[in-house]
Structure 1
Amino acid sequence: MIKLFDGGAWLIHGTEVVPEQEEKRAETLAGHALSKKEGKKGTIAYSILKQHNTAPDMDHLKIKFDAMASHDITFVGIIQTAKASGMTKFPLPYVMTNCHNSLCAVGGTINEDDHLFGLSAAKKYGGIYVPPHIAVIHQYMREKMAGCGRMILGSDSHTRYGALGTMAMGEGGGELVKQLLCDTYDIAYPGVVGVYLTGRPRPGVGPHDIAIAIVGAVFKNGYVKNKVMEFVGPGVASMTTDYRNSVDVMTTETTCLSSVWRTDDDTKAYLTQHGRPDAYKELNPSDVAYYDGFVEVDLSTIKPMIALPFHPSNAYEIDEFNQNAGDILREAEKRAQELIGDRDIPFSLTDKLVDGRLHVQQGVIAGCAGGNYVNVMAAAHILKNASCGNGVFSLDVYPSSQPVYMDLVKKGAVSELLAAGAVFKTAFCGPCFGAGDTPANNTLSIRHTTRNFPNREGSKPGQGQFSAVALMDARSIAATAANGGVLTSAEVYADDYEVPPYDYDDSAYAARVYHGFGKAETSADLIYGPNIKDWPAMEPLADDILLRVCSKITDAVTTTDELIPSGETSSYRSNPLGLAEFTLSRRDPAYVGRAKEVRKLELARLSGQCPAGVDPDIKAVYEKISQHFPKTSMKTTEIGSMIYCTRPGDGSAREQAASCQRVLGGLANICQEYATKRYRSNVMNWGMLPFQMRGEPNFEVGDYIFIPNVRQALSGDLQHIRAYVVGSWKEMDLYIAPMTDTEKEIVKAGCLINFNRNR
């Protein structure tokens, strides 16, 4: 049972939950009059945010983090940006892991070139470098960096260490650059939603089951969007910290801002075992705490779950699914057909039903969600003396770190999995974003990973390839494997098994990890590979702008994976223009060509040429504009491309979803709503205007939109910005959600790099 409160709630003495409508009862339990303003100060989140806030008040926070983390898809661009902005050394511990572009055969030498660049940067600027296959980013941070009351910023959306009492946030690279330049992370004080856990997980139920059930309950209604999820209640103690970590990392899929859990003796034991007893302190809400929203979860009612394509919130109990498989799969097929569009790609899910049972073709247990010790041990127990069979079904298992791998070997779990026919690999995030174990065309993969977005598993619909992923817990994946690929709930195999205690050994870290924080060798050289390129120049915002609509996507949500595909394209993350060639390639393949044509016009303008010399049609556009705005000139009106999406930015924190648009000449996004704060931040940090609109779009691809006096509009209240569709002269009432003064100046400067250079 998962219950969402209609409004806020009081938590009294950590045990009594009282809806805000029953304030008198809450006052009776507390023994005094209550104030919501004071009650909000009783949350764990408030105490951590207050400790890290450098602003004079708590309404508008200016946060400085304790540490940061990036992986090899993002750290090159971040360091290049910070270097161009004047950084000389890392002012806080900055961990660079190599867990995404680990497969160095993809793209020739360029992935390994990025790794070598990372090591040279760690030496030059004083960073911490974790080589490929040693640990996935979030497991390393759990083991070595997270601690109670701390805050960590990462350039990966699944930066979540709340189960260790750490408020962690995943953001685009621009926000990490600000920390490297000793600036702050500026946000309005967020809402805090209490998640009150009771009961204990039943046998066969794993952390992914709990996470999928919660995501299914809160995602679609936006209940926790851009808020902090605070896990409290007696049910927390029913799970080990390793188990909690696997629940916590999935809070990203709710679109919350961050998460934090109450801590206890098991948290202390985990940190002590990892050699950091000083990182523990007890965290609990005060005797009186007020939450802006409240979710009650009875863990004993959660059953094994499956999240069907194409989102973690598409959640069903496996038993429920098996009873209604045909109807449920037909609904998923409709969504698949929307994604395929008019391409001639045969794809079916119902063809995988045999005698009413779903047959899947692949299983994967991996990464920061699935590769934890407790999950792999549970899967090995179910598969002991079983067989995956020699048919099409395959099972791949990736531990989350070398220390976890070492103990799984010692405990015999690796040999048990291998004997069952599973393939055991190294710490790698690839299966989570399409850079490893891409399933065959027209197949279904079940995975204990974080996401099952469209094409994130690596298929390429533009080349006639399409497959899909459903999310499940490692336990039910193992049960399915033991049943030859027939979808099976882990409850079928549930017994009284308890995962034996974990024995942590960090000798692999001691042997391979480079620790350079506080030891910057500023005279050392950065080592560049031929694919590592500097950011191209970007011009400041003009007073008047002319936008050409280069893509219009009316899907309910547009993910960052659709804006810039994951998978093998990540080999080009260190080459801004090279990567930009893939922008929207799996959703609107003609976008790049359209954007380049617009960019030619702007480059001509910047060089003093007449844009009409590049495209004669632009002369007629300007003549129409000058009839309504006589003072407008081609020479002073900036020309840029624009994309419209209904709700862009769900998913990854990768800044490239925005920077690729910008280097192609992108000047704005227009949408109904931004799916996540982090994508909107990326848009602004790359100098694009984050417009929103009331009503449906009254323009099409190819139309021009003229916005006069836009710099002046940025200095106003942002609520009514006049824009006109050239030709029809339909007026649009655009607006921009509140921006900080710094964000406004970044957009005016043209991007964060320009802003910092100007300073």
Structure 2
Amino acid sequence: MVKLYDTGVYLLSGKEIVCDDPHAAEQIKHKTGKQAAIEQAKRGTIAYSILKAHNTSSDEAKLQLKFDALTSHDITYVGIIQTARASGMTEFPVPYVLTNCHNSLCAVGGTINEDDHMFALSAAKKYGGVYVPANLAVIHSYNREMMSKCGRMILGSDSHTRYGALGTMAVGEGGGELAKQLLRKTYDLAAPAVIGVYLAGKPQPGVGPQDVALSIIGKVYDNSYVKNKVMEFIGDGVYNLDVEFRNSIDVMTTETTCWSSIWCTDEKVRHYYEVHGRPEDYRELKPAEIAYYDGLVYVDLAKIKPTIAMPFHPSNIYTIEELKANPLDIMHKVQTEARQQIDNPDITLDLVSKVRNGEIYVDQGLVAGCSGGTYDNIVAAANILDGQSTGNGVFTMSVYPGSQPAYIELVKNGAVAALMDAGVIVREAFCGPCFGAGDTPANQEFSIRHTTRNFPNREGSKPNEGQISCVALMDARSIAATARNGGKLTAATELDTHYHTPAYAFNRSIYDKRVYNGVGKADLSVELKFGPNIKDWPVIPSLTDHLLIKVISYITDPVTTTDELIPSGETSAFRSNPLRLAEFTLSRKDPAYVGKAKAVQQYELKRETGEDPSLLSEELKKVYAKIKAIPGYARLDAKKAGIGSTIFASKPGDGSAREQAASCQRVLGAWANLAGEYATKRYRSNLINWGMIPFLVNGEPKFRKDEYIFIPDVKAAILDGRKEIKAFIVGENVQEISLSVGDLTSDEKDIITAGCLINYYRE
């Protein structure tokens, strides 16, 4: 059971909840003998103390943060280092961990993965970083094991950068924000609200962390209850959960769209640090005697049931019990809703056929990555499958331990043997299954996964090409129970299993023997190793006085994910070549986008060489004739108006932190996005860092696809921080509209007008 409070709450001594109502002060005075002032009580949260310790500004409302460490993987680190290098970086000022867990398979058709890995190793040596070789650990497993510390803050270029259960506030962001930290700049944001997540009780046997996480996501995603806020986990239920159970819940907080997370710590966390050879990195974190939260999510762990997130979002949840009780109706409902998210009307999607004789049958089970591949999850799966068989039919199951230290313990205690004996394939540490580079389901297959996401354009699906698979998220325990029944959907609570988790011993020598740790040992004499497909960023123009943008893509879906803006999977082979990668922009959502963007970009390239844009084509002659007919613009100098493309999307940016979702649009000549709202802060930040204006459109857009929008004096409007920016739709007729950009920091204004982060720091 998950309940949301519709008011803020006071928490007394970490246990008692008092709603913020007219009687709150009286109740608190009676219980504690103290007065309760909201502003003082807000300083009682764990989040407040950590943010304060990392804030370099004198204003508590406007934070300027410096992080203790940074982390990236091999889809993102080349672009980040190239950006920082082009901006004047000479060394990594804080520990920077470069893991190789996303592109550790052989590349086909683009950058050879090992070229990027050798670039990263040379960068770690040159600038003083940490290099984790391929298949040794997934990014978040390594950082939990080696980089977490109570009270620390870590910034990562992966959206699932979350180490709150270990007392570390971690944030997943686009590469531009890491480049700023590498350049000794700050991460700027308004102080986020803090939402308490009160865990009560204890889960029943067979209920796992994914069940808890999905139950929370299902309650808070659609209503944006925690969007861009900090989730602070408190309550007696925390102490009933093992640390790895907490870690698996924590990493899924990303799917709520919260900004970061933090948990109170206890003796179990102390033991975690001791086992990992870092007892000095533990300290107790807990709220003050009186702490105030801007909202509260109350979770009764005892009432959580095995849960499944059906296609195509982690918030589309059902209990397995209710799904099995009414399979045909629910599968038909999910199938109908799923089809509405796919633009290809010819695609076949048939979930109803997975129901046979009243039972639901799945084709594949997978336990992997930062959410599923923990030691405890895999041991629990082995407990269920010990002495059993997954069968020799269509159903297959794979397990990916999150790190080699976890893997070797699973080998020693017999868990790997039990899984393999049951027919499970045990693989290396690899994030690929989460984005379609490992165990990719066949067309029309139904896959159940303890991973992080189940968007329609992930796991290898290509809806615009007729290729579709349906992924549902489940806990490792229920996946193992389903495997034990040959693919018949089964909740782990339906089985009578004796769960036994052998004590974990961390073998640090595995890392000591293979990881290069150059922190504090920068050597500028080292030459960076460039493979032939590792390219520099192209030159990006600075913002002009005026702007003329063409709406070349118009997306009305409720949410547009980063996987739709720039697909994962096959595009990764070109991740280090900005121009080649840009060829995939919106390829699964709007295949015509790239051609249209290039056509508009040609106008801008000619303008930059001094040609008069109003004379470049019949189309532009008509557009400029209409603009010059607007009162006050008869003498407009067209050479001072940049020309570019833009997209409209109702709510873009849910999902990955990959900056390529923005940078690919930019290198194709985009100047802006138009949106009703932005799904995440990180996508909006990516736009800004690439010099793209994050315009907001109030209400139903009045412009249409392929129409131009003229924004006069846009540079001045950005620098002046105008709340409303005048613009004109230049279609069949000219219509004045108003746009806005929300609040921008001083640096953000300068970055946008400079054209991008690289230009800003060069200047």
Task: Report the TM-score, using the length of structure 1 for normalisation.
Answer: 0.99
Q: Give 1:677's aligned amino acid.
A: K
Q: Give 1:754's aligned amino acid.
A: N
Residue of 251, 254, 257 corresponding to 2:253: 251
Residue 106 of structure 1 and its aligned partner are, at CA, apart by: 3.0
Give the conservation status (yes or no) of the 8 Å contact 2:141–2:402.
Answer: yes
- Tell me which residue corresponds to 2:745: 740
Matching of residue 672 in structure 1 with residue 676 in structure 2: yes
Q: Give 1:355's aligned amino acid.
A: N
Residue 609 of structure 1 and its aligned partner are, at CA, apart by: 2.3
Matching of residue 16 in structure 1 with residue 44 in structure 2: no
Mapped to 1, the partners of 2:2 and 2:661 lie a distance apart of 34
1:398-547 alignment runs, 5 A limit: 398-547=400-549
- Tell me which residue corresponds to 1:630: 634
1:546-695 alignment runs, 5 A limit: 546-611=548-613, 614-628=616-630, 629-695=633-699
Mapped to 1, the partners of 2:541 and 2:395 lie a distance apart of 53
- Tell me which residue corresponds to 1:722: 726
- Tell me which residue corresponds to 1:197: 199
Greater mean alpha carbon deviation, residues 199-208 or residues 331-340: 331-340
Q: Deviations over 1:668-726 (max 9, x none)?
A: 00111100000000000000000001111112221100000111111334321111111
Mapped to 1, the partners of 2:427 and 2:341 lie a distance apart of 32
Greater mean alpha carbon deviation, residues 285-294 or residues 717-726: 717-726
Mapped to 2, the partners of 1:694 and 1:640 lie a distance apart of 22
Give the conservation status (yes or no) of the 8 Å contact 1:546–1:638.
Answer: yes
Mapped to 1, the partners of 2:224 and 2:496 lie a distance apart of 34
1:328-407 alignment runs, 5 A limit: 328-407=330-409
Cα RMSD over matched residues?
1.1
Residue 108 of structure 1 and its aligned partner are, at CA, apart by: 5.9
Q: Deviations over 1:569-625 (max 9, x none)?
A: 112111111111101111111111111101000001001123466533211111111
Query: What SS does the aligned partner of 2:341 have?
Result: helix
- Tell me which residue corresponds to 2:701: 697
- Tell me which residue corresponds to 1:4: 4
Give the conservation status (yes or no) of the 8 Å contact 2:140–2:161.
Answer: yes
Greater mean alpha carbon deviation, residues 7-16 or residues 18-27: 18-27
1:162-177 alignment runs, 5 A limit: 162-177=164-179
Residue 479 of structure 1 and its aligned partner are, at CA, apart by: 0.4
Residue 243 of structure 1 and its aligned partner are, at CA, apart by: 1.1
Matching of residue 757 in structure 1 with residue 762 in structure 2: yes
- Tell me which residue corresponds to 2:279: 277
Give the conservation status (yes or no) of the 8 Å contact 1:455–1:468.
Answer: no
Query: What SS does the aligned partner of 2:639 have?
Result: coil
Query: What SS does the aligned partner of 2:258 have?
Result: coil
Give the conservation status (yes or no) of the 8 Å contact 2:343–2:464.
Answer: no
Residue 214 of structure 1 and its aligned partner are, at CA, apart by: 0.5
Give the conservation status (yes or no) of the 8 Å contact 2:383–2:500.
Answer: no
Mapped to 2, the partners of 1:107 and 1:69 lie a distance apart of 27
**Are residues 494 and 303 of structure 1, via their aligned partners in 2, closer, same or farther at CA, if it must alter by over 3 Å?**
farther
Mapped to 2, the partners of 1:147 and 1:282 lie a distance apart of 11
Mapped to 2, the partners of 1:43 and 1:706 lie a distance apart of 47
* Identity score, percent: 60
Structure 2: runs of 5+ lacking an equivalent: none
Residue of 161, 178, 183 corresponding to 2:185: 183
Residue of 99, 103, 107 corresponding to 1:97: 99
Mapped to 2, the partners of 1:323 and 1:202 lie a distance apart of 21
Give the conservation status (yes or no) of the 8 Å contact 2:626–2:734.
Answer: no
Give the conservation status (yes or no) of the 8 Å contact 1:203–1:494.
Answer: no
Residue 754 of structure 1 and its aligned partner are, at CA, apart by: 0.2
Query: What SS does the aligned partner of 1:88 have?
Result: coil
Q: Give 1:20's aligned amino acid.
A: D
Q: How many residues align?
A: 758
Give the conservation status (yes or no) of the 8 Å contact 1:476–1:490.
Answer: yes
Query: What SS does the aligned partner of 1:480 have?
Result: helix
Mapped to 1, the partners of 2:168 and 2:111 lie a distance apart of 37
Query: What SS does the aligned partner of 2:321 have?
Result: helix
Give the conservation status (yes or no) of the 8 Å contact 1:718–1:737.
Answer: no
Matching of residue 706 in structure 1 with residue 710 in structure 2: yes
Q: Deviations over 1:713-746 (max 9, x none)?
A: 1133432111111132122221111010000000
Give the conservation status (yes or no) of the 8 Å contact 1:600–1:614.
Answer: no
Mapped to 2, the partners of 1:220 and 1:747 lie a distance apart of 31
Mapped to 1, the partners of 2:609 and 2:501 lie a distance apart of 67
Query: What SS does the aligned partner of 2:155 have?
Result: strand
Give the conservation status (yes or no) of the 8 Å contact 2:723–2:741.
Answer: yes
Greater mean alpha carbon deviation, residues 339-348 or residues 30-39: 339-348
Give the conservation status (yes or no) of the 8 Å contact 2:105–2:113.
Answer: yes
Give the conservation status (yes or no) of the 8 Å contact 2:719–2:750.
Answer: no
Residue 32 of structure 1 and its aligned partner are, at CA, apart by: 1.8
- Tell me which residue corresponds to 2:150: 148
Greater mean alpha carbon deviation, residues 14-23 or residues 422-431: 14-23
- Tell me which residue corresponds to 1:67: 69
1:30-49 alignment runs, 5 A limit: 30-49=32-51
Residue 460 of structure 1 and its aligned partner are, at CA, apart by: 1.3
Residue 331 of structure 1 and its aligned partner are, at CA, apart by: 2.0
Greater mean alpha carbon deviation, residues 668-677 or residues 22-31: 22-31
Greater mean alpha carbon deviation, residues 108-117 or residues 345-354: 108-117
Mapped to 2, the partners of 1:32 and 1:212 lie a distance apart of 38
Mapped to 2, the partners of 1:494 and 1:518 lie a distance apart of 53
Residue 109 of structure 1 and its aligned partner are, at CA, apart by: 5.5
Give the conservation status (yes or no) of the 8 Å contact 2:448–2:472.
Answer: yes
Residue 258 of structure 1 and its aligned partner are, at CA, apart by: 0.3
Q: Give 1:725's aligned amino acid.
A: I
Residue 633 of structure 1 and its aligned partner are, at CA, apart by: 2.2
Query: What SS does the aligned partner of 1:380 have?
Result: helix
Mapped to 2, the partners of 1:26 and 1:431 lie a distance apart of 50
Greater mean alpha carbon deviation, residues 621-630 or residues 333-342: 333-342
Query: What SS does the aligned partner of 2:121 have?
Result: helix
Structure 1: runs of 5+ lacking an equivalent: none
Mapped to 1, the partners of 2:176 and 2:66 lie a distance apart of 14
